[in-house]
Amino acid sequence: MSGEGSARKLANFGDLLTVDEMAAVLDSSKRTVYRLCDKDELPYVKVGRRLYFPKHEVADKLRLVEVV
C-alpha cells in the first residue's frame, strides 16, 4: 500500500471509519481488517458490537503524513 494513495483515500472519509471504509483504504477485505484488529495492528474503538477506526490514529499507524 502506497502512503500517498492511502492518504488520499483517508481524506475521503470522516474522523471515524467503519470496517467497510477501512477495507477500502487498505484495498483489502473486511476479514483482513478484523484479522489486523485481532493482532492489534490497527487502532480501533469498539462501540457496542461495532468497530470504528480513528482516522488520525490510523494515519499515524500507517505512517501517513498528508491526511486531511
pLDDT one-digit tens code per residue, 24-48: 999 999 999 999 999 999 999 999 9
Q: Helix axis angle, 19-26 relative to 3-11, nearest 10°?
A: 150
- Using pLDDT thresholds of 50, 70 and 90, give the confidence band for residue 8: confident
CA distance 25 to 35: 15
Per-residue confidence (pLDDT) for residue 13, from 0 to 100: 86
Q: What pTM did the predictor assign?
A: 0.79
Q: Please give the single-letter amino acid code of residue 6.
A: S
CB burial readout 3-33, b (16+ within 10 A) else e: eeebbebbeebeeebbbebbbbbbeeeeeeb
